[in-house]
Amino acid sequence: MEEQQSHEGSQPIHQQHPTTPKQKKPYRLMLLISLVILIFSAYVLVNQYTTTGEWVKKGLELRGGLSIAVKTTQEINVKNLESDLSKYGQITVKETSGFGGREVLIDGPSDIDSSKILDELKLKNINTEKASIRSVSPTLGESFFSQIQIGIIVAFILMGIVVFLLFRNFITPTSVVLAAGADLIETLAFMNVFGIELSLASFAALLMLIGYSVDTDILQSTRVFKGTESMKERFRSSVKTGMTMTLTTIGVLAVLFISNLNPILTQISAVLLIGLVIDMASTWLTNSGLLMWYMNRKGGTQE
């Protein structure tokens, strides 16, 4: 009888120690989302390459050609003007307008006679007194493009070395380089989607974007590895600071883009706007996911 009571009394004691549930691992979902975005961007770039033979559409400085910019106050039918000028070669006509006024941009091969284009514009009563002409040979454009590729490779190598020297581990430079690389690939893909050409101006914007991406990644890595709060608080603090920086910059660039004061500034602001939106995903999904995975492997906790 006593043995039976002892056995029955042991059951509640056993029930007070249930099996500990598996800890949730949010970094898996974060890395999955960033991977989906990266795969979509890779598909866009591959599709662009199979269609045109180039990963991204090159601007005048990188492909070579002739560009004529004409400031005007009158409205122009871009399609009709492009059709009329097509007799001189493969010509594209664009029109931009903003606080800086209205401007017509005419692009074509470098062997086109610019004087004939200007004469055609005069026949259409378009004032060409303030016209500006740029011409770049295809050889020089190819040279510029080769230097751009070398510049990006060197930037990534130096970036990885500097981050490694700062943190003395391999996960931080790996996550920073991967996040910056994802930024670059995805920004180039969405440049194709929105019809933005890769030029010297947009390349400068891409370099600025890489620097900004590294800045936010290092900010987060520093908070995570050198913070004294709980892991959850460290990630929350880094996200709050980084998002404040990014959203402030996006607001300034949006004003610059809407103002359309200059085609070069407009292109730079457009590329940076795309890149910073993508950087929010790269930093707070890719970089955060890798850091969480690393801390989890070390026995850390997100609590």
What would the pLDDT profile of 65-80 be if each residue is shown by its tens digit?
A: 888 888 887 778 888 8
- Examine the pLDDT at 145 and tell me if it is beyond 80: yes
**Which pLDDT belongs to residue 26?**
65
Average pLDDT over residues 200-205: 90
- Alpha helices in 74-137, H assignment, sequence order: 78-85, 114-123
Beta strand pairing status for 101-108 and 65-72?
antiparallel
Average pLDDT over residues 201-230: 83
Helix, strand and coil percent figures for the chain, each rounded to 5: 70, 10, 20
Distance CA 226, CA 132 (A): 54
Average pLDDT over residues 233-246: 83
Average pLDDT over residues 175-187: 88
> CA–CA distance from 220 to each of 235, 243, 267 (Å)?
7, 11, 29
Which of the four pLDDT bands, split at 50, 70 and 90, describes residue 49? very high
Domain residue ranges in the chain: 26-58+139-297, 65-136
**Which pLDDT belongs to residue 227?**
67
Summarize pLDDT for 170-179 with one digit per residue, the tens: 888 888 888 8
Which of the four pLDDT bands, split at 50, 70 and 90, describes residue 100? low
Spatial CB neighbours of 276, under 8 Å, sequence gap ≥ 6:
209, 212, 246, 249, 250, 253
Which of the four pLDDT bands, split at 50, 70 and 90, describes residue 202? very high
| Mean model confidence pLDDT for the chain | 81
In sign, the C-alpha dihedral spanning 255, 257, 260, 262 is: positive
Summarize pLDDT for 2-31 with one digit per residue, the tens: 444 444 444 444 444 444 444 556 667 777
**Which pLDDT belongs to residue 113?**
83
**Which pLDDT belongs to residue 18?**
46
Which of the four pLDDT bands, split at 50, 70 and 90, describes residue 85? confident
- Residue 181: count other Cβ atoms within 10 Å of its Cβ: 18
Going by CATH, does the domain composed of 26-58+139-297 fall within 1.20.1640.10?
yes
Summarize pLDDT for 271-296 with one digit per residue, the tens: 999 999 988 877 777 777 777 777 77
Summarize pLDDT for 156-173 with one digit per residue, the tens: 999 889 888 888 878 888
Average pLDDT over residues 23-40: 77
Percent of the chain with pLDDT over 70: 87
Q: What is the CATH number of domain 65-136?
A: 3.30.70.250
**Which pLDDT belongs to residue 194?**
92
Q: Edge to edge, what strands does the sheet with 65-72 contain? A: 92-98, 101-108, 65-72, 132-136
